[in-house]
Structures are given as C-alpha cells and as structure tokens.
Amino acid sequence: MHSCLKRIFAQPLIQAPMVGVSTPQMAAAVSNAGGLGSLGIGASPVAAAQDMIEETRGRTSAAFNVNVFCHPPPQRDSAVEAEWLEYLAPIFHEFGFTPPAALKEIYKSFVEDEEAFRMLLIMRPKIVSFHFGLPPQDRINAMRDAGILTMATATNVDEVRLIEAAGIDVVVAQGVEAGGHRGQFALSERDLGLSLSVLIRLAVRSTRLPVIAAGGIMDVQGVRAALALGAAAVQMGTAFVLCPESAADSTYRAALKSERAIDTRLTSAISGRPARGIANRFMEIGAMGPPVPSYPVAYDVGKRLHTVTRAKGCDAFGAYWAGQGAALAREMPAAKLVADILRQI
C-alpha cells in the first residue's frame, strides 16, 4: 500500500461512504477491524453531519473518511420540472396520493456550503473525500493546511489529471460496475463507461498518486485482482449493505438478497444523475419519459415517490443502489467481513 495511506490506515480496504446506508457504527467497526470506515454526509444537514462524526469518534480512535458531494449547483428549469412532475403524477394517483406541486433542492453542494466547510475544518477528520467533482481550490488548500488527507473520485483519465493538478492526495478510480452515483465531473461530457480493470491501468499509468479501486468488488478474489492491476487499495460499498450496522431498510435488504440483485442498471430518473441500482419499475418508466430535472432537485420527487409507494407495500420505486456484483453480497457483521477479506489477501 502507498506510504501516504499507510500513515492513516493499516490495510488496503475502504468501506465506501454510502449516503443512507453507512453509519457511525459501520464506519467505526470497519476502522476498528483494520480497514478504513467512511461516512457519507453529502445529504445531511451540517449539525447532523457533525453529530455523525462525533459519534464515530466515540466508537473508534482509528481514522475514518468523511465524504462530501461536489456537484455543480442545480440549473433550475421550471418547465422541465413541471413536465417531470406531470409525467410522474399518474403513479402518485395510482397509489392514492397527490403528487407534489413543485420540487426543491433538497441539499446543497459542498462547493457552495460554507457552513459544512467550516465544520470540517473545526472537526478535522483525518480524511475527507469528494464525489462528483472538486471543491474550490482554496478549500482544498485549507484542508491540506489543516492536516486533512483528501481523496476524490475519477471515472476517466482526464478527471484523474484534474485531481492530481488540484493537489488532492488520492484518486478513487470508479469503474462503471460501481453501485450508486457515478462520480463523473461534467454531465455535459460523454461518460466513457470504463470498466474498473481498464480504469485502474489507465489511472496508474497517468498519475503518481495512489489509486483506490472502486466498482463491483465483493470478495477477496475481487480485492486481489484490483491490487494485482496496480491499485493501492480497494473501496467496497455494496458488500457492506447487508451488514447489521447498515442503515438499509428491510425492502432494500430483501431486494439485495433476491434474484433481482443480478440485474443492476444505470439511471438518471431517480435522482437526476446517473446511478447504478437494482432494476425496478421506476427505471423503466424514467427511460421513456421527458428530460429529468437537475440533481438533486429530481431526487426530491424520487424520494417522495418511494415513500408513498412503500407505504402501500410496493418496492418498485426505491433507490436500491448496488453494483454489478450485488448478487455476491453476504450478510455478516462489518468487522467479520473486513477480517475475512484481510485474512485472505
């Protein structure tokens, strides 16, 4: 493992910062087991995010990662939003609910959230990671000056180079197999959809930074393959969803344990940005619909639709984010999962 990582955590295994799934209990369990636990605070109010960091510190003295979202602030288009709501209205009516009259931006991007930035400088987690892009350079510099190691997701070589030029310490190479949201910087540019194995080799060749492999890794065989390709460590997300420390609800867990888990697809319909999850009716309907509003504005109605349909016993509209290896998920405590993998590397 690269020396800059060894200073922070001992073993080459990171638990992905999954918003809505990762918890202080999970992050602490992974870090206590020798890996690197992570918190995803991108969708959390600042006070709640600070509470999560403090709770995790109360459960472990080891390092853990705190992840934030650096998406461009949404470009609001009232016509697009109205058309999307009109398109989804029949589904709300089908389940006996009135569709929302308007959409809202349900959380800020870190690129413009001064309060979140100040909170992180005060809390000084050992590691902060960025998804969907990079924050302003002065914020990166301030974190470096505060002794915080930084990581950022890349889906192609151009993004790897931008990460290195900004002075970030570590690249997280996200293959198209990965569950959850693609970390693509600019949605206006074509997503190359690079597989993890190809992206690792390209990234390792194009940067001097340590490269973390993320996407579809579920077991020790996947870990070994990524390390053999040149990754300094691996990041695993879907593999931890069934752990008891996970915040995933019963329908999410049931979907991941079912035969449906073999079929994962990328969709923008649920949130407004491409994300991979277990295929469902929402994805099919969204693929045939009008333009989707910007992220995370579209996520406002996506979350509401899941809430009302789930209240009626339907799980066909949930965001069950999962990678292509989802069918390999195992149900066990996070510490045992980490120990089993580290013992066999």
216 half-sphere exposure, CB direction, 13 A CA radius: 16
pLDDT above 80 for 295: yes
| Tokens found for residue 275 | 């994300």
Cβ 120 vs Cβ 143: under 8 Å: yes
Residue 4 pLDDT level (bands cut at 50, 70, 90): confident
More confident site: 12 or 9: 12
pLDDT (0 to 100) of residue 94: 96
Q: Quickly state the pLDDT bin for 10 (edges 50, 70, 90).
A: confident
The pLDDT tens digits of the residues spanning 168-219 come to: 999 999 999 999 999 999 999 999 999 999 999 999 999 999 999 999 999 9
8 A C-beta contact, residue 99 and residue 68 = no
DSSP state of 240: G
Tens digits of residue pLDDT in 73-95: 999 999 999 999 999 999 999 99
Which residues contact residue 6 at a Cβ distance below 8 angstroms, ignoring those fewer than 6 apart?
none
Which residues, at least 6 apart from 317, have a Cβ–Cβ distance to it below 8 Å?
A: 91, 280, 281, 282, 302, 305, 306, 309, 310
Residue 299 has pLDDT above 90, yes or no: yes
pLDDT reading at 7 higher than 80 = no
